[in-house]
Structure 1
């Protein structure tokens, strides 16, 4: 039972680290760290993501170091449980984040996750840092509720939002999103709100 508790503590710790790293490291001012630079590229192109090999090498390294440190005071299995929970939830986070950007939602939770994340990407980049959950955003008051329909820049729209035939917004998402062009991209004086 202690092993399960350590594993669960690792999972919970990752959810906090997800919020902390995203908000404090990835969105740090001045983009002086490589994580912030990489994350800025992701905001400029939501389909830009670091590849799985780098992610897996990183998680194996961190889990290995934590296991080695914890073995100094815990048994082998106990020492591994917390880091494995942490690493497991990190991989869940990475998978969920990729799915948000690349696949259409299949559940109400998936639909909500996408709306929450689109809010962060295009409306409140200094808020809504949780990707798998908004719990820590509520705790630390960085949560901003979204109002539907959410505007998505047409040139940055995730492929699953688009109708393959027309290239416009798919009918399934007209209640949740609206595609917009920047005013300077429009050929005449029409407003961004009318460019759908």
Structure 2
């Protein structure tokens, strides 16, 4: 139940507080707190630990999966050109999945207690504290759920000779995505594509939260009409 007289206390664990904000949650979560102080999410130290992930865990855990998937295709005798094309195809599929998850799941609007709570855990905490370096990449358990679902979709919809390398490309796309996401928040590029990606993503955080859902590129934002304007008023 939403409490109309509720006041959120940032000095206490936040996860089970944010639900009480009700309709005010949407505005609250998009007013970022830019600082290095990390918010406490859970009272339990054990549960809190599993919300924290160092960025380098992503390539350490998932690049071996990429190598295994590609080597599986090679061992089946799939021609090298077909393996390479499948990997590229998997990366392309990931970019669409990246955009879709960010736009339709991570930015779903919620007002109820549990909706707000779940959204805050999925993505809201990142928008509220965008410089929290240990909550910028997917925790391994969350990434594993997406990977398993991706594998079964690919397995059921593509030939056996294509599936492993296509899956490996999708996982490689994910690794690039999460490492890029960390870099655009904590890196300091001054030119080229990295500088563009940082400006593009910071615009999403601090100016127009309902535009600019791509992380590794703005391609799908162009395709689906969610590219933010060059200038204009902040909207939601």
Structure 1 unaligned regions, length at least 5: 152-196
- 1:47 matched to 2:131: yes
Contact 2:86 / 2:162 at 8 angstroms: preserved in 1? yes
* Alignment match of 1:2 (pick from 77, 82, 89): 82
Give the counterpart of 1:95 among 179, 187, 193: 179
- Contact 1:25–1:35 under 8 Å retained in 2: no
Equivalent residue number for residue 214 of structure 2: 130
Q: Give the CA deviation at 1:82.
A: 1.3
- Give the equivalent residue in structure 2 for 1:121: 205
Query: Any conservation in 2 of the 1:120–1:129 contact (CA below 8 Å)?
Result: yes
Superposed CA deviations along residues 36-78 of structure 1, whole A, max 9, x for unmatched, are 32311111111235376x5334444543454466189743x53
- The alignment partner of 1:132 has SS state of coil
Matched, 1:30 2:110: yes
Cα distance per residue 1:108-154 (max 9 Å; x no partner): 1111111111110011101111111111111111101344xxx9xxx
RMSD: 2.9
TM-score (ref. length: structure 1): 0.64
Tell me, yes or no, if the aligned pair for 1:63 and 1:84 is still in contact at 8 Å. Answer: no
Q: After alignment, is 2-11 or 13-22 more displaced?
A: 2-11
Q: Does 1:13 align with 2:13?
A: no
Distance in 2, matches of 1:35 and 1:6, equals 35
Report runs of 4+ in structure 1 exceeding 6 Å deviation: none
Q: How many Å apart are 1:3 and its aligned residue?
A: 2.0
> Of Structure 1 and Structure 2, which has the larger fraction of its residues in strand?
1
TM-score by length of structure 2 reads 0.54
Structure 1 segment 57-76 matched on structure 2, within 5 A: 57-64=141-148, 66-67=150-151, 70=155, 74-75=159-160
3-state SS, counterpart of residue 14 of structure 1 = helix
Structure 2, unmatched stretches of 5+, are: 1-80
Find the residue that maps to 2:162 and give its secondary structure.
Answer: helix
What is the number of equivalent residue pairs in this alignment? 147
Give the 3 Å change call, closer, same or farther, for CA 3–25 of structure 1 in structure 2. Answer: same
Query: Which one scores higher on RCO, CA 8 angstroms, separation ≥ 6?
Result: 2
> Which of the residues 141, 157, 160 maps onto 2:225?
141
